[in-house]
Amino acid sequence: MLADPPPPGAPAGQWWPPQVLLPAWLEANVEDFDLVHVHFGIESYSPAELEDTVATLRRLGRPLVYTVHDLENPQLSAQDEHRASLAVLAAAADELITLTDTAGAEVHTIAHRATTVIPHPTLLGDDPRPTGSAHDTTRVGVHLRDLRPNIDGVGTTATLVRAISDLRAQGARVEAVVRVNERVRDEEAAASIDLLVAGTEGVRVERGPRLDDDALARWLADLDACVLPYRHGTQSGWAELCYDLAVPVIGTRIGHIAAQHPDDFHTFDVGEPVSLARAILDATHEVWSTPGSARREGEVLRRRSERSAELEDVRSAHLAVYRRVLAAEVAA
């Protein structure tokens, strides 16, 4: 597998539009690759530009595999151009992959094509995984990150404040932490979140630098449950990370996140604090959900083993897809 090629002069660690989708790059490097597998980054190009990408691959005799992660793009508010780009790739790809059966069914409805379902693999390696620190209360967390377009920071926080207040009024020992990155895309929303939490017992806002991977895993491991604040989307890498860390997930009924790990997923509706309070109780009822406990540690170890075996299956499934499309290219 080739490393993602940076454009000339790009600083290390900076995201850039994927060069592999540029016809000029494909033509210049055609002898170095057998096929192109697209995951993300298509919002960097227009549907017409992606049609040029597809035409170039066909002319060069190189197959295209497309994993449909985002039926709705979390980085965008308006989705029309994204759907048009998705349609270009979904029609042209030699094979389509989805992460869940339900996403595959939606792709079939939209593109009238079958998909190969390959679940998202673990996001963690073989290093020891954090299991959290014990605390006296049930701790629920929501990370709003930089308040990108698909994050309903204000609505989720308002619902969480009410749910926590109601639970505490009923005698529950529960608290919530709302984390927000220092740099956000919507300062007005961040200010509203501060106002919603101000003076509320049991809920606090935690604002700081973007957490690196290790710090994020430690932050999540300290939670009894994690609330996902999405207003639209398809699948969630956070749901995968929470699963690896044995942290139950609470989320809205958007996309296909609930299908990733359904036994760990508890639903609520934004604007309905009763539904969130019920989801918190359901999620934290799991015997392995308490941070710092022997049961949490045992569940994390069990899942680490399970996911290690799954990773080999995921690799084999991708290899099978690649072999099929290359064999079909030769036969053609």
How far is 156 from 279, CA to CA, in rounded Å? 14
Q: CATH 3.40.50.2000 spans which residues of the chain?
A: 19-121+311-331, 138-296
| H-type alpha helices, the chain | 23-28, 47-60, 80-92, 101-111, 153-169, 187-197, 213-221, 237-244, 273-284, 294-331
pTM of the complete model: 0.94
Question: 138-296 architecture in CATH?
Answer: 3-Layer(aba) Sandwich (3.40)
Cross-strand pairs, 203: 176
Homologous superfamily assigned to 19-121+311-331: Glycogen Phosphorylase B; (3.40.50.2000)
Q: Using alpha carbons only, give the angle 163, 168, 173 rounded to the nearest 5 degrees.
A: 115
Residue partners of 135: CB distance under 8 A and separation at least 6? 222, 291, 292
- Angle between helix axes 187-197 and 153-169 (nearest 10 degrees) is 10
Cross-strand pairs, 238: none
pLDDT, tens digit, 9 for 90 and up, residues 84-98: 999 999 999 999 999
CB atoms within 10 A of CB 128: 9
pLDDT in tens, the chain (332 residues): 777 787 777 777 677 788 999 999 999 999 999 999 999 999 999 999 999 999 999 999 999 999 999 999 999 999 999 999 999 999 999 999 999 999 999 999 999 999 999 999 999 988 899 999 999 999 999 999 999 999 999 999 999 999 999 999 999 999 999 999 999 999 999 999 999 999 999 999 999 999 999 999 999 999 999 999 999 999 999 999 999 999 999 999 999 999 999 999 999 999 999 999 999 999 999 999 999 999 999 999 999 999 999 999 999 999 999 999 999 987 76
